[in-house]
């Protein structure tokens, strides 16, 4: 678990540092026109901007508390279910690493740096980051094993 969580955290934080130092907040760089752009946006809310309109101090405390609780639950689940189940262990490690990456952002900036931006014509998915991707992929793997393999 330590390797996957650490690798996820490292890639997440490294990509955010690159974005932060490469182009100013609000800038958009089209990589594949009409489909994929790199952007530099700050998200003080939850996933996809959830609750972002609320007071920044209250949001920071709320999401810090949720993040710490989530990390404790993930660690508990790993100890309980991860042994001998490499896919479950990897999924939990990805979720742990992603949650840690976003927690670090909240501690440093009181918001999260997002930069991956997908759109197809008028359809647009809110910007996200490597941590969000790891959390989503890890969750899908975990749900698959929960439903199909009966963890």
Which of 12, 105, 117, 132 is flagged as catalytic? 132
57 is a catalytic site residue: no
Which of 12, 105, 114, 117 is flagged as catalytic? 114
pLDDT confidence of residue 77: 87
118, 129 in Cβ contact below 8 A? Answer: no
**What are the average pLDDT values for consecutive 10-residue runs of the chain, which has 151 residues?**
92 98 95 96 74 69 86 88 84 95 93 95 92 96 86 54
For the chain, the structural domain boundaries read 2-149
117 is a catalytic site residue: no
Q: Measured between alpha carbons, how far is 12 from 134 in angstroms, rounded to an integer?
A: 9
User: Please, which residues have CB within 8 angstroms of residue 102's CB and are 6 or more apart in sequence?
Assistant: 12, 67, 112, 129, 131, 132, 135
């Amino acid at each position: 678990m330590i390797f996957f969580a650490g690798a996820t955290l490292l890639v997440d934080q490294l990509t955010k540092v690159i974005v932060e130092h490469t182009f100013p907040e609000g800038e958009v760089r089209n990589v594949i026109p009409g489909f994929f752009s790199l952007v530099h946006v700050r998200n003080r809310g939850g996933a996809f901007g959830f609750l972002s309109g609320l007071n920044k101090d209250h949001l920071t405390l709320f999401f810090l508390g949720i993040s710490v609780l989530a990390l404790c639950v993930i660690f508990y689940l790993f100890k309980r279910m991860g042994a001998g189940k490499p896919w479950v262990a990897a999924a939990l490690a990805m979720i742990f690493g992603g949650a840690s990456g976003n927690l670090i952002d909240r501690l440093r900036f009181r918001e999260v740096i997002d930069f991956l931006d997908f759109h197809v014509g008028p359809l647009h998915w809110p910007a996200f980051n490597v941590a969000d991707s790891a959390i989503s992929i890890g969750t899908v793997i975990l749900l698959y094993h929960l439903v199909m393999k009966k963890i």
